[in-house]
Amino acid sequence: MSKKRPSLGLVAKLSGVSPSTVSRILNNTAKVSDSKKETVLRVIEETGFRPNLAARTLAGGRTMSIGVLTQYIDSPFYGEAIRGIEEVLASEDYTALFASGRGDRELELERLNMLMERNIDGLIVLSSTLEDKELEALAKELPVVLTGRATLNQKLTSIGFDNLGGGALALGHLAELGHEVIAVIDGPDDPDAKLRMDGIRAESSQRGIDLIPELIEVGDFNELGGYRAMVRLLDKPTDFSAVIALNDQMAYGAMLALSES
């Protein structure tokens, strides 16, 4: 029969303190005398006690978990980012808890609340439909890092991309190739999509290229959305020679629709 694993309660009993005090000492948040702290640490060493997650969360201790809120977990971009996040967190003995909003604001809020209920120690947001003021309020409750989206809000820690410049670069590239009638597969109501579209419009205006409203379709930032948007574009009476999709997933779907046409 295997030897019973020493518990938090046993350490507390042998040390003459409460279980919550043991937990606070483990998390280095206890306001106790040095002698009492030394006693608890000695008992922990003698018994071979190893704190589990429940013990570490007592009295406001850390859960050693970080929430990661994504949009499309099946996207190649998010897949690579998630892999990197998970590897780094694991190297620091943290667990990553993942949730996907799939570009739906209500679903994103629901998943965000789910993560918050798990008492996560921090949150990494891989793009978001939430506004800066909502993220700022969230950052008052726990550390938040916003990635995949640039922000001028000095109260938010963000690692962003030049979405505006990216949109302009895409339009400019096609213009340099001689394309004059360009279709666009726009994204959903999303800050990133808006900036990319703003870049496309600014560059098209500068180059004297008119974007035809009829040739702008909205996808859902996934392959199916790109496929359906491309099918609708191909059914239009207006011809075009090139198309810009606002993310890779929609581009894959658009190419599939073209291969089948």
* pLDDT score at 259: 95
Tell me the mean pLDDT in the region 217-235.
Answer: 94
User: Which fold does the domain 8-60 belong to in CATH?
Assistant: 434 Repressor (Amino-terminal Domain) (1.10.260)
Residue 154 phi, psi (nearest 5): -70, -10
Q: Tens of pLDDT along 185-196?
A: 998 887 788 999
CATH 3.40.50.10470 fits 65-159, yes or no: no
Rounded CA separation 235/60 (Å)? 59
Identical fold, 8-60 and 163-260: no
**In the CATH hierarchy, which fold is given to the domain comprising 163-260?**
Rossmann fold (3.40.50)
Q: For residue 123, is pLDDT > 50?
A: yes
Q: pLDDT tier at 177 (50, 70, 90 boundaries)?
A: very high
Q: What is the distance between the alpha carbons of residues 123 and 140, in angstroms, rounded to a whole number?
A: 12
Residues in Cβ contact with 162 at an 8 Å cutoff, skipping those fewer than 6 apart: 150
pLDDT of residue 54: 52
pLDDT tens across 63-79, in order? 889 999 987 777 777 77
> Domain locations in the chain?
8-60, 65-159, 163-260
| Mean pLDDT across the chain | 86
Q: How far apart are CA 219 and CA 189, in angstroms?
A: 10
